[in-house]
Amino acid sequence: MLFLAPGVALQLTRLFKQRGLLTELRASVRTIMLLGEVSVPAMRSRLGQWWGATAYNASYGSTETGTLAAACRHDRLHLLTAANYCELLTAEGLTEAHRPGTGRLVVTPLNLHARPLLRYDTGDDVVIGTDCPCGTATPDVTVLGRGTDGVRIGDVTVTPHLVEQVVYGQTTATGYLLEVAPDRLRLLLERDVDADRETEPERAAAVREAFRDRFGLDDTEVLFLNSLPSTTKSGGSQKSWKRSNIRILEAS
């Protein structure tokens, strides 16, 4: 079993492939537990495929609050409601997070005696669900990322969650950088070590199509590169997506 952050998992896999070690190392790995940053289902599938293992979102929380949710065998995160009082902030105000809904997660940890927090706004947009087939009685939570992380392009808000679903779902890229200019959008993808370059035009077309379908954005330029700046690899999806995976450009 591997326990590591998603950004580290991607780059470590890349390094092991470069050194010809992955085949040997993956033989003993059945489970990959990701924690410390938000990861999307497409990234977990991709990591699972590379390692011949199942990748789970192990837990969700923050330094301030401690652990707020933990994984079940269906790869969903269930809120730890015995340790935290969880509420959802929506346009209608605060409601207890025990019914399906979307909003910002606000928590009151019940056991932080040394540093109590009352109705702490996590800043994370989440989706609450209650239909997990595992049968756990507590709601599950899908973390979409910081509400402030979305980037407005024309009439649409592009979020890290959606971009990463496309990147890791449609390609075997090990990282990406989204360049946003007033008149164009360019997605730079870090080519996998053993990538088949002949399939790249097809993959790029699939990414362009997904951007059109999900965001209504036409003519996204998609380029594959051998490597991206290390600043894109600092696990930005939760901490600061805009600084690590987005570059805002002037009009050309």
Residues that bind Zn ion (CB under 5 A): 72, 74, 76, 132, 134, 136
Shortest Å, Cβ 74 to Zn ion:
5
21 vs 134, which CB is nearer to Zn ion?
Answer: 134
74 vs 212, which CB is nearer to Zn ion?
Answer: 74
Shortest Å, Cβ 138 to Zn ion:
9
Shortest Å, Cβ 75 to Zn ion:
8
126 vs 158, which CB is nearer to Zn ion?
Answer: 126
74 vs 99, which CB is nearer to Zn ion?
Answer: 74
Shortest Å, Cβ 90 to Zn ion:
23
d(CA 70, CA 138): 11
